[in-house]
Structure 1
Amino acid sequence: MKELKLITKDSVSIAVHLFLPEKSNNKLLLINSATGVKQQIYFSFAQYFSEQGFTVLTYDYRGIGLSKPKKMKGFQASMRIWGSEDYKAVTDYIKINFNDYKKYCLGHSVGALILGMNEDSAMFEELIFVGTQNAFVGNLKLKTKIEAYLGFGIAQPLITTLLGYFPGNWFGLGESLPKNCAYDWRTLILNRKSTNGLLEKIDDYSKKLTQKVFVIRAQDDVWLTEKGVRSLLNNTYPNLKPTYRLIKTSESEKGEIGHVNFFRSYNKKLWNIILNELI
């Protein structure tokens, strides 16, 4: 594992880790993280794929993990910038250093939504979507819908405005988020257009993507619904060619997958679902 620092076009440093295999199969896998999830969560998964011959890259968006500033209040970042600047810096690096490789991208949650913000997404042979959807409240189940209205309609904007950032860790929602990342997250949930509501504010490449996409959803992911997943593929990425896979909790040795735990080492057995797709 090798640590890199990439500089975006707007001069922000992004922390990247490169997992190089002992014997390369000339395939590269890029992992786009979920909202507020540090890249370390994906290290065991990345190491496993490296052991199978893949070159793997993980990274932290600005404001998260090793790409976090000393002071969050006033730090300029948004989910749109994650896609158009941070993700773009990584794909630029890949084009320069691994141009002749077969390339794949795994987007976890928001990591799939930002694909439409970067024209380089077209270079990937196949995409993997894990735990992602158009998260508009109308697509959610009743209990989650109520929590979403209370949390993102009232608590999140109030706290974010008061503090100048959103302390996601207070609510078990991962890392603290820069202010505009929190507001973009609110858009994904409360705006009927959801992902398209962000894409219309930025250069949108989502309709130009035509690859195969392997779409994984966990049975016990309470924030995810089939309706939301289908909405993303039908309304945001209509030209991708999806294959769907529901992972049942009975397939997990611990009986838990949820929104993030697919990547925990105790679910290592499940990683073959993706490996078999890519080989």
Structure 2
Amino acid sequence: MEKLILTTHDNIAITAHLFLPQKSNKKLLLINSATGVKQQIYFSFAQFFSENGFTIITYDYRGIGLSKPEKMKGFNASMRIWGSKDFKSLTDYIKTEFPDYEKYCLGHSVGALILGMNEDAEIFNEFIFVGTQNAFVGHLKFRTKIEAYLGFGIVQPLTTRLLGYFPAHWFGLGESLPKNCAYDWRTLILNKKSTNGLLEKIDDYSKNLNQKVFVIRAEDDVWLTEKGVKSLLNDTYHNLQPTYRLVKTTESEKGEIGHVNFFRSYNKKLWNIILNELI
């Protein structure tokens, strides 16, 4: 594992890690993280794929993990910037350093939603979507819908306005988020357009993407519904060619997958689902 410091077009340092295999199969997999999820969550998964010949890159968006500023309040970041600038710095690096590799991108949650914000998403041969959807509250199940209305309608904007950033860790929602990342997340939940509500505020390349996409949804992911997943593919990335895979809890050795735990080492046998797709 090699640490990389990449510089975005607006001079922000993005910390990434490169996992090089002992014997390369000339295939590269970039991992776009979920909201507020540090790249270390994906390290075991990345090592597993590296042992199977893949070159893997993980990274933290600005404001998250190793790409976090000393002071969060007033820091300029948004999900739209994650897609248009941070993700772009990774594709620039990949095009320069690995031009002749087969290229794949795994988008976990928001990591799939930002694909349409970067024209270079076209370089990938295929996408893997894990735990992602158009997250509009109307797609959610009743209990989660109530939590979403209370959390994103009241608690999140109040705490964000008070502190100048969103202390997501207070609510078990991962890393704290810069203010505009929190507001973009609120758009995804409360605006009926969801992902399209962000894409219309930025250069939108989503319709240019026509690759295969392997879409994975965990049976016990309470924040995800089939309706939301299908909406993302039908209403946002409608030129992609999806194959869907529902992962049941009985396939997990701990009987636990949820929104993030697919990438925990105790679910290592589930990683073969993606490995078999890419080989």
Q: TM-score, normalised by structure 2?
A: 1.00
Deviations along 1:45-88, whole A, 9 cap, x unmatched?
Answer: 00000000000000000000000000000000000000000000
State the partner residue of 2:154. Answer: 154
State the partner residue of 2:27. Answer: 27
* Secondary structure of the structure 2 residue equivalent to 1:253: coil
State the partner residue of 2:211. Answer: 211
C-alpha displacement of 1:170: 0.3
Show structure 2 runs of 5+ residues with no match. none
C-alpha displacement of 1:151: 0.2
C-alpha displacement of 1:209: 0.2
State the partner residue of 1:13. Answer: 13
Percent identity over paired residues: 82
C-alpha displacement of 1:107: 0.1
State the partner residue of 2:168. Answer: 168
C-alpha separation in 2, matches of 1:121 and 1:242: 16
Amino acid at match of 1:110: V
State the partner residue of 1:261. Answer: 261
Structure 1 segment 1-279 matched on structure 2, within 5 A: 1-279=1-279
C-alpha separation in 1, matches of 2:146 and 2:4: 42
Give the aligned CA root-mean-square deviation in angstroms.
Answer: 0.2
Deviations along 1:220-265, whole A, 9 cap, x unmatched?
Answer: 0000000000000000000000000000000000000000000000
Amino acid at match of 1:179: K
Amino acid at match of 2:168: G
C-alpha displacement of 1:109: 0.1
Amino acid at match of 2:86: D
Amino acid at match of 1:182: A
C-alpha separation in 2, matches of 1:115 and 1:202: 12
C-alpha separation in 2, matches of 1:228 and 1:40: 27
* Secondary structure of the structure 2 residue equivalent to 1:161: helix
Amino acid at match of 1:257: I
* Secondary structure of the structure 2 residue equivalent to 1:3: strand
C-alpha separation in 2, matches of 1:181 and 1:91: 21
* Secondary structure of the structure 2 residue equivalent to 1:185: helix
* Secondary structure of the structure 2 residue equivalent to 1:133: coil
C-alpha separation in 1, matches of 2:120 and 2:260: 26
C-alpha displacement of 1:7: 0.3
Equivalenced residue count is: 279
* Secondary structure of the structure 2 residue equivalent to 1:75: coil
Runs of at least 4 residues off by over 6 Å: none
C-alpha separation in 1, matches of 2:96 and 2:159: 42
Amino acid at match of 1:11: N
Deviations along 1:85-142, whole A, 9 cap, x unmatched?
Answer: 0000000000000010000000000000000000111110000000000000000000
* Secondary structure of the structure 2 residue equivalent to 1:103: strand
Amino acid at match of 2:99: N
Amino acid at match of 2:118: N
C-alpha separation in 2, matches of 1:189 and 1:76: 21
C-alpha displacement of 1:150: 0.3
Deviations along 1:20-52, whole A, 9 cap, x unmatched?
Answer: 000000000000000000000000000000000
Deviations along 1:169-188, whole A, 9 cap, x unmatched?
Answer: 00000000000000000000
C-alpha separation in 1, matches of 2:142 and 2:206: 29
